[in-house]
């Protein structure tokens, strides 16, 4: 649906709202351009985590995973895993100052409810506040799923966070 990809060029002050529909892979992707990861010059610590995306606001989404046309469910899930689909919203390394409000996952239509709604990987120290919506659950760095209504956490480099269900509110910002 929406891909905001950056190497070094700035992407700033972005607002996306009132989105409805199904997606085969990702609803929102915010990261270094994935195609650059295949080039050898981007396999160095200087480029891993590159990207320059700041001040993004996502609000009033109602989305779900749908099957890729022509593929059976099992083949589609394997196909997605092979393309590093980690969640409906995939944030990897490069985002600063993200706000999500009223991100609803339509589980009545979702064909892959076990796939996280949100996946975050970070190489920086970040502050995260989260309010769960319907079916909300979190997992930090591969731990078990917890169901906090409200959650605040400082993510350290190499932390990962996965969230399932709907998201009432989330704020993710890089700490200086």
Range of the domain at 40: 2-174
Residue 38's contacts (CB-CB under 8 Å, 6 or more residues apart) are: none
- Dist CA 47 CA 35 (whole Å): 13
Q: Alpha helices, DSSP H only, in 6-137?
A: 73-81
Per-residue DSSP letters for 137-172? Answer: EEEETT---B--SEEEEEE-TT-EEEEES-EEEEEE
Among the listed residues 132, 136, 129, the one whose alpha carbon sits nearest the alpha carbon of residue 165: 136
| Domain count for the chain | 1
Give the integer Cα–Cα distance in Å for 25 and 83: 9
pLDDT in tens, the chain (176 residues): 656 666 667 888 999 999 999 987 788 877 665 555 555 555 555 554 556 788 999 999 999 988 766 666 666 666 666 556 678 888 876 678 899 999 999 989 988 888 889 988 887 788 989 999 988 888 888 777 787 778 898 988 888 888 999 999 999 888 76
pTM of the model: 0.81
């Amino acid at each position: 649906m929406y891909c905001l990809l950056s190497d070094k060029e700035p992407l700033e002050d972005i607002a996306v709202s009132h989105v409805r529909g199904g997606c085969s892979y990702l609803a929102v992707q915010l990261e270094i351009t994935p195609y650059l990861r295949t080039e050898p010059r981007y396999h160095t610590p200087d480029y891993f985590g590159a990207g320059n995306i700041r001040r993004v606001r996502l609000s009033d989404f109602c989305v779900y995973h749908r099957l890729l046309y022509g593929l059976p469910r099992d083949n589609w899930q394997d196909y997605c895993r092979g393309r590093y689909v980690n969640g409906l919203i995939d944030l990897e390394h490069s985002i600063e100052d993200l706000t999500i409000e009223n991100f609803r996952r339509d589980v009545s239509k979702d064909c892959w409810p076990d796939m996280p709604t949100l996946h975050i990987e970070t190489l920086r120290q970040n502050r995260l506040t989260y309010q769960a919506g319907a079916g909300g659950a979190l997992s930090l760095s591969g731990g078990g799923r917890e169901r906090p209504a409200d959650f605040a956490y400082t993510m350290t480099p190499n932390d990962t966070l996965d969230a399932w269900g709907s998201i009432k509110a989330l704020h993710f910002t890089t700490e200086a």
